[in-house]
Structure 1
């Protein structure tokens, strides 16, 4: 089936784009805004509302399927694409991508992605375009084959139909105490992120952070239902390295000390330090992982910064430079490459976390669910937005609906 027209519709991301460099450099919050001058190119203020752009594919039966383009919250940081520019992305999509879409067979997902995402003038297309268009193409293939998006992924990558539920990870934003309680009451699998993105939140010597970790563990025991035992996952945005120092041994020592405050819990520490380049990140994260493994620690290292593209993910996984890789979907680009990234992690026995950003939309979140379930990732992010209720509902409900469909398929096949 062919695509006969391409529609574009401007939209909103579910949160804001933030200048990470300015925030790390000490920008002060005043209410919801940050005060001070931006530091990252493209930002006119430190915090700006996230924008998105929907791309709709009109199929020959007049059905319209959609995907959403956007960039991540901390655009332009850690080697990521620059801040999302709706006008620029719209012009490039109309001029270059739309003609390609009109010339592909929408029923053949990977083949269509390969043709549409060919480099232009020896440059890769903006990752936001790959991300949104690949969602729309996945929905097109699912519509044509009268199946779910997850089943298209399974068919294209020769994967068995999944049966296992993928654990869901929620993030608290700045409303830590209230949102931690919400997560515990809703029995979220992995929590709470914590948004430890400034010296104030990390504290001198990490004291403020450690107290927060301890509180989350205590609160889980206080109000969680009997038997509830989540994974505790904290994103520290490199602050262990900034405050403790960039020596792997010191970082590992500190992480073990944090783990000791929540005995019995598995502890994920995301982005413990930024060593300045992908190569340095791999080398030093590998050392931290090795130290923790040798100690038999329940702490695990999660890589985010400096691990953006499919090739980055391959390098980290092959080097065993993390226990868990965040596959940040808009940074990877085509959602087909996110599938490849999960499979690379599995081959190398490294955990695969299908993440993303609070700046995403309901459509991109739902597509990510199908991808995560199809590839049987180790966990996936509740998104979009920075609240708990909406994101957990969107991702959790989509997963439950999908598993109901897949279970019915499996039952019919057995019968």
Structure 2
């Protein structure tokens, strides 16, 4: 089965591009916007409308395969690719990618994904967002050319078993970190709330007091609202390096603070994502390792999740090999082609490090649904509910795709008599 036509269509993503450096430096808010000057190259304003590009591949059987190019909310931060603007890239995609796609055989997904992921232009790999969206379309093309679900294609090509158990889903609150928690409890999400603790003054507190109060409220709210004791979610909070900021990246002080959060989180398990930002990969690995060892010396069960400076497949391998964290966020757009996400999750499994298949609020329904297929094939320990920051919308997209797939797979594995 070959590709006979290609379209690249500018699209909206489900959130916005935010200049993380300016926000962490204390940029003020004016309604939904931020005030002040942008600090990250490529940004004209601190908050800009999110953009995507839909890639549409027409197959010989008349079906259209689709994938969406999308980049993370905090583009350009911590070693990530720069801001992704459709107007800049669509002409280039038509000129360079279209001729490579017309006539391409889509029988095999992984081979095509590797080809485009390794493609270079002007001496560099093409933007992660383009590789991400193109790989989604190529996977969809292989599935639609063979009458399979995307999860089946992945399992077939990687020799993975089809499993019918549901995945653990992780809800993100955005700045609405109180009302969103109520929604998550009502819908019994497995992991919550993310929290978006990306500013010291307004969210963490100069001495960490605001986050301590929030964790206490969070624990009490779950105990108050849950209908039965069988609902025991995991707490997972992303702090964007702000804890390191208030403790000057002192691992002992950070570990002592995290044990205080742990006490307030009881009886629920606590994961802290991105406690520090050390400014580079090697420094980040070293500092996270120090914090993890300091926590274990205190007999703490707090688990550290790597995020900043852990962007690519090779980054993930380095973090896992260093045993500096308990879990790695595999931020799907940052890895480019989704075969890298597949292999990153499998690498974590092989080395006994927990895998969190994440991504960004700034994706689309297409990319989120594709990622769910990837997760159903590779079985990470948790999967981000995305896109958007409203929770309910992302939960609808991800959870319903998972349940539909399970229903279809069940009929294939055990056909109705």
Q: Fold conserved (TM > 0.5)?
A: yes
1:167 aligns with 2:168: yes
Give the 5 Å matches for 1:10-409. 10-117=10-117, 118-199=119-200, 200-227=202-229, 228-409=231-412
CA distance in 2, matches of 1:75, 1:261: 33
May I ask how many residue pairs the two structures share in their alignment?
414
Aligned-partner Cα distance in 2 for 1:251–1:409: 50
SS in 2 for 1:340: helix
- Measure, in 2, the Cα distance between the counterparts of 1:192 and 1:243: 22
What CA distance in whole angstroms lies between the structure 2 residues aligned with 1:336 and 1:103?
22
Aligned partners of 1:51 and 1:70 also within 8 Å? yes
Structure 2 alignment gaps of length 5 or more: none
Q: 2 CA distance for matches of 1:374 and 1:291?
A: 35
Shift of 1:103: 4.2
Mapped to 2, the partners of 1:92 and 1:289 lie a distance apart of: 45
Q: Determine the C-alpha separation between the residues in 1 that align with 2:113 and 2:285.
A: 30
Q: CA deviation at 1:412?
A: 3.9
Secondary structure of 1:205 counterpart:
coil
Q: What do the CA deviations read for 1:185-226 (whole angstroms, capped 9, x no partner)? A: 111100001111101211021000110011010000001121
CA offsets 1:108-143 (integer angstroms, 9 cap, x no match): 101111223322343111111110000000111111
Provide the rounded CA distance (Å) in 2 between the counterparts of 1:136 and 1:296: 47
What is the aligned-residue RMSD (CA, Å)?
1.3
Q: Is the 8 A contact 1:72 1:331 kept in 2?
A: yes
Tell whether the 8 Å contact from 1:100 to 1:115 is kept in structure 2 after alignment: no
**Do the aligned residues in 2 keep the contact of 1:164 with 1:376 (CA within 8 Å)?**
no
Cα drift, residue 70 of structure 1: 1.5
**SS of residue matched to 1:204:** coil
**2:126 partner SS:** coil
List gaps (5 residues or longer) in structure 1.
Answer: none
| Large movers: runs of 4+ above 3 Å | 293-296
Deviation at 1:289, TM superposition (A): 1.9
- Secondary structure of residue in 2 paired with 1:151: helix
Equivalent-residue separation in structure 2 for 1:346 and 1:278 (angstroms): 22
> Displacement of 1:290 after TM fit?
2.5
Query: What is the SS of the residue equivalent to 1:353?
Result: strand
Distance across 2 between alignment mates of 1:341 and 1:412:
33
Tell me the TM-score normalized by structure 2: 0.97
Measure, in 2, the Cα distance between the counterparts of 1:267 and 1:245: 22
Whole-angstrom CA distance in 2 between matches of 1:5 and 1:124: 24
| TM-score, length of structure 1 as denominator length | 0.97
C-alpha separation in 2, matches of 1:329 and 1:301: 19
* Alpha-carbon contact 2:70-2:133 (below 8 Å) kept: yes
